[in-house]
Structure 1
């Protein structure tokens, strides 16, 4: 109680401008300070703020307390090295080196090593959606997925059952005369009397290349069986990545086909407004119904359900 009384008396003296000398000793009311700080009869938390706090209003009052050691900065709760300071942007606290995207992906908050945080404008492109993946918000490519459960999820996120078996347009350039046109079809079969409709093969058309892939990843290009990886001069690449067969046409479309008979399609912004097929459109929120396709050129069997 004596220590509290003396401390209150010292504060009152300092409030009216009276200079008070250090009255504490190791045996009389010693004061232990947190890590990286030391006791001072006239400490000020505003004296050495982290760079990100320099614009924050602080009552610059000197009073008995703990002050940061030389080379350390006050981060609002304690004294830390400058590279451990935080940034304070738009009501958010960021760690050094951290970047956080706004909820609507219209901006990102950047906290550089200097601790002087800033805001950068951003926006998602037509072929991207603002969402959280693995705990991180950002702009991610919109995907069309033909699942192995008989359900297709279009680019706009709508899911529906596929009603029939057969060969269907999955994604294609609407204008058959357009430069760089492509067309990707899926061969759907019902596996087993009660099993779902799944994709047992892919048939794709690109300029100068017709590609057939079955559920065993056997691949034919222009009627000839090829070994993977396979690359053509027109930018078409076919390869197996992480147990998925990937057909990629540079700057246009990427089709991934898993051994679980699931197809995933992503397309680039350059073709986003030109799409037709079961995957729907990226340019609007309308769904496109799954339409069967008259298809004649199919030199390899595709009715191969997983064992």
Structure 2
């Protein structure tokens, strides 16, 4: 049985999503979202998903590209996942080698990769010259059986709306997203400057649920939000929760997220997922207050390509 690695084809979308769900069940992945990411990737990202195939079946995947929205050139990423029932067939090694060669050809000198915090996964990365960097937790909340904190009334001067209310002009949400993303813990600094691309890649993403995304508004201006992503069936995930710097310390992000979670449960979603940097104590405490529990951890590994 021979394993081959090749570029993604449109007909691979369901198989790609299936492997991602099996290897990383804490993140949403659908055939539609996989296809969307491929067709709407920024040209400067040189985004190229790969698949490992054995006997005509997809058993491994990779998402790789250049960090085009970083002010520092030469940075890239390659996240590799093999179906947990198809390990130790050489798929991971072949994908990593193919990814490194491709990214080096596009000027990447520093390569980052998320690796599940398990002995076998970490040994795989370290054997190939990667060193551990930061880490992040995946958290899960049982929306069906768990108990959410009671809904809170917004303070005076604050109104709760949904992202759908900004359909005619989402630019204020872009501005808030661009400000809050700068304070997210990360190895790679990110700057949102391309509004038109944000409209396509973020605002138009099939996983984004505008109706369940809650926005806290003061004087007509969005100042905090909790972005909801859903798979359209039972799973809900927080894409981003943040507050404009001038409005922090007032509990507005917590208020928005609580509202979104209550409405997600009312809409029939049974599981909620989110992720936090392991050093992000304030957000971890907030999620513990909601009832989230850590279900897995990933470690960011980095390698200098020579």
Question: Normalization by structure 2: what TM-score?
Answer: 0.24
Which structure has the larger Rg? 1
Higher strand share: 1
Q: Which of structures 1 and 2 has the larger relative contact order (alpha carbons within 8 angstroms, sep 6+)?
A: 2
Question: Normalization by structure 1: what TM-score?
Answer: 0.24
